[in-house]
């Protein structure tokens, strides 16, 4: 039985491994220079990570399949998986850079859940609109790389951005909102262009 568990752990795909490694590194980063080691944050977020690994194992094979083999439901699941995975991975990577931020160190388990929830909302919105676009796998992957890059390196960007007629906006929300607005406009214009 132990041999079966060992081989199944070895057979995890690269998405599962990247989440697990990023989670372990983020946990160590949050414990760095702490007066005592606490497993509270680890135990609070571990169920979410197990759920994400299970989802990675089920949905990651959809990424490698040609788009014409997938029905609309599978396309929707593939896109939502790619983007929600990107949000969570970017969050875990960003925690590595926040080891000296006492606020983040106190709330890091909540931050992971918040990013997972926000990533789920973003990915569902994106995936619904992406159904209007044919052959959009590369397009979705570009969005996921942008999300990973900007969120994981968010510490190095200005915290607030000044937008005319709106004022000071948190750069994370400005970035995510800009991506969604661009995506919606692109999907609608693509659909209109196809009908002409």
pTM for the model stands at 0.88
- Residue 3, CA atoms < 13 Å, CB-side half-sphere: 0
Average pLDDT over residues 142-150: 94
Give pLDDT tens digits for 62-71.
999 988 889 9
Q: What residues contact 35, with CB distance under 8 A and at least 6 apart?
A: none
| Sign, Cα dihedral of 78, 84, 87, 91 | negative
Q: What are φ and ψ of residue 103, in 5° steps?
A: -65, -45
pLDDT at residue 4 in the model: 44
Query: Per-residue pLDDT for 157 more than 90?
Result: no
DSSP state, 162? E
Q: How many domains does the chain have?
A: 1
Q: Could you tell me the residue range of the domain that residue 173 belongs to? A: 2-195
DSSP state, 13? -
C-alpha to C-alpha distance for 107 and 99, rounded to whole angstroms: 12
């Amino acid at each position: 039985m132990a041999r079966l568990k060992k081989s199944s752990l070895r057979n995890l795909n690269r998405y599962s491994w990247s989440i697990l490694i990023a989670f372990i590194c983020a946990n160590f980063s949050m414990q760095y220079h702490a007066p005592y080691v606490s497993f509270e944050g680890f135990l609070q977020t571990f169920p979410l990570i197990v759920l994400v690994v299970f989802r990675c194992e089920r949905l990651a094979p959809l990424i490698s399949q040609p788009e014409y083999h997938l029905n609309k439901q599978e396309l929707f699941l593939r896109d939502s998986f790619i983007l929600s995975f990107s949000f969570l991975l970017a969050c875990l990577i960003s925690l590595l850079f926040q080891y000296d931020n006492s606020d983040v160190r106190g709330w890091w388990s909540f931050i992971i859940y918040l990013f997972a929830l926000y990533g789920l909302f973003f990915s569902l919105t994106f995936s619904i609109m992406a159904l209007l676009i044919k052959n959009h796998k590369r397009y979705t992957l570009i969005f996921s790389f942008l999300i990973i890059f900007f969120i994981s390196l968010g510490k190095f960007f200005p915290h607030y951005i000044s937008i005319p007629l709106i004022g000071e906006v948190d750069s994370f929300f400005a970035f995510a909102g800009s991506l969604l607005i661009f995506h919606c406009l692109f999907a609608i214009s693509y659909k209109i262009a196809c009908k002409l």
